[in-house]
Amino acid sequence: MKAEDLLKQAMSEQKLSDEARERILSGALKSVPENAPEANKKPFFNLLLIRRLALGACACLVLIVAVHVMSTIFSGDKKEADSSAKEDAVSAVNEEVKTPSVATSPLNIEGDATPNKNDSAPKGENRFYMIRDGSVVSVLPKSESASFESLSDSWFEPVEEYIEDLNVPASYILYEISRENGTIHAILIPCEPDILSEKKAEDYKDCELLEISGEPAVIPSGAISLILERDPASGEYRIISAEKKN
Amino acid sequence: MNPSRLQQEDNVRRILQQYGDLLYRMSLSIVGNSADAEDMVQDTLVTWLSETPDFPDEAHEKQWLVKVVRNNSLMLIRKRENRDRILSEQAKVSVGRDADYGILDVLYTLPDKYKAVLLLFYVEEYSVEEIATVLKKSVSAVKMRLKRGREMLSERYREKEHEG
């Protein structure tokens, strides 16, 4: 018989007895006050909320009045400044007509009229992927994302194995994953309460290897940077480098 | 007894009827003994009574209950200072069991993430998609855990048999 069949058989026999059910029932009821549900229901329009709203409205009113007074006082100066600015703008436009446009960025050296997008676009193969609720969200077009997602099992497994081999009870979060020159770079950050709180990951109390979303940021100390490479023979990924940030 | 108390009692009875065994097994697979598993079920019901969460359907209710009993059980395990001591206690408990329960002793030695997936798939007969929803994991992660958990269970059970 297979181990999983034995497991099913043995576990199916594990049931709560009638006595245990009664014990649990009475224990649970004793632990909770009779009016607990009502006590927990907070009225939406409570006194504190109304006071805070009123205070906020007063603050807004004071701010509006102050801005109005200031704008009235300085309106005379502004008119003078406007007329001066208009004169400057006209002279600048005239100057521009005389001089042809010249590219200033080295990456736009041929004087291309299109704006230089290199600052915001992914550079080369160094692409950033986010992982949200287990599915890969990419900054790249969908086709790229899909091909990366199909690899997920092959890279996720060795990363998980690595974490298990560390034998650290409080484990790591898979924080960032990227692909560069055919290798996969994974960054794992320690799963600590303050990080979980920062990432609003309060559901993940068990601190297994988690997949959460995150912006590329300063990597905290204790983070592990892994590089995985595909083994041409088996087609599977294996870890070729692991570095811990102190 | 006032009407709200009666209502609370009815609710607890319904939950115990519908999910009692599931919650007990889930906790048992983590804490390894029936007394603690029963306590974890009770704690879960206390949380349910205190928070009185409003669920759109039964699936969400089940998901919430599984999550809470699992977290409670994991927290109990972590609260104990020495995990090795717990394992030795589990071993002592298993000595008195019937030989057929050897597989459960093997289950207790697996990492928690595999226990939950194996239990929900093989014992509670959930689909991979349902497990993914309950545990808030991707389908591929559940499949992977199922595969590795199954392999680990078989391997360790074989080793145990050879030793026996």
Domain count within chain A = 2
User: What would the pLDDT profile of A32-57 be if each residue is shown by its tens digit?
Assistant: 777 655 444 444 445 556 677 888 88
> Which member of B52, B119, B144 has the closest CB to residue A11?
B119
Taking the Cβ of residue B101 and every Cβ of chain A, the question of whether any pair is shorter than 8 Å is answered with: yes
A152 Cα to chain B: minimum distance (Å): 8
Q: State the Cα–Cα distance between residues B136 and B129, nearest whole angstrom.
A: 10
Report the 10 Å Cβ neighbour count for A8: 20
Q: State the Cα–Cα distance between residues A77 and A69, nearest whole angstrom.
A: 14
**Chain B neighbors of A202, CB-CB under 8 A:** none
More confident residue, A176 or A6: A6
A210 and A146 within one domain: yes
> Which member of A3, A24, A29 has the closest CB to residue B38?
A24
> Which member of B5, B71, B141 has the closest CB to residue A34?
B5
Taking the Cβ of residue B4 and every Cβ of chain A, the question of whether any pair is shorter than 8 Å is answered with: yes
**Token pair 């436009």: residue:** A93
A100 within domain boundaries: no
- Write down the pLDDT at residue A68: 82
Helical segments of B1-57, H only:
3-31, 34-51
**Chain B neighbors of A8, CB-CB under 8 A:** 122-123
A232 and A146 within one domain: yes
Which residue segments constitute the domains of chain B, with CATH numbers given?
1-79 (1.10.1740.10), 97-164 (1.10.10.10)
Whole-number average pLDDT of chain B: 81
3-state secondary structure of A170: coil
Q: Which domain holds residue A154?
A: 127-244
What does the pLDDT average to over A173-178?
Answer: 68
**Chain A neighbors of B82, CB-CB under 8 A:** none
Low-confidence ranges of chain B (pLDDT < 50): 81, 92-100
Which element (helix H / strand E) includes A127? strand A127-132
Instruction: State the complex-level ipTM.
Output: 0.78
User: What would the pLDDT profile of B8-18 be if each residue is shown by its tens digit?
Assistant: 888 899 999 99
Taking the Cβ of residue A20 and every Cβ of chain B, the question of whether any pair is shorter than 8 Å is answered with: yes
User: What would the pLDDT profile of A100-125 be if each residue is shown by its tens digit?
Assistant: 333 322 222 223 333 333 333 333 33
Nearest chain A residue (CA) to B155: A3
Q: For residue A70, what are its two tokens?
A: 């200031």
Q: In sequence order, which residues have a C-beta less than 8 Å from that of residue A170 and are 6 or more positions away?
A: A190, A191, A192, A207
User: What would the pLDDT profile of A191-241 be if each residue is shown by its tens digit?
Assistant: 665 655 554 444 444 444 444 444 445 566 777 888 888 777 777 778 888
A239 and A153 within one domain: yes
User: What would the pLDDT profile of A134-171 be if each residue is shown by its tens digit?
Assistant: 333 333 333 444 444 444 556 666 776 676 666 554 45
A67 and A137 within one domain: no
**Chain A neighbors of B107, CB-CB under 8 A:** 7, 11
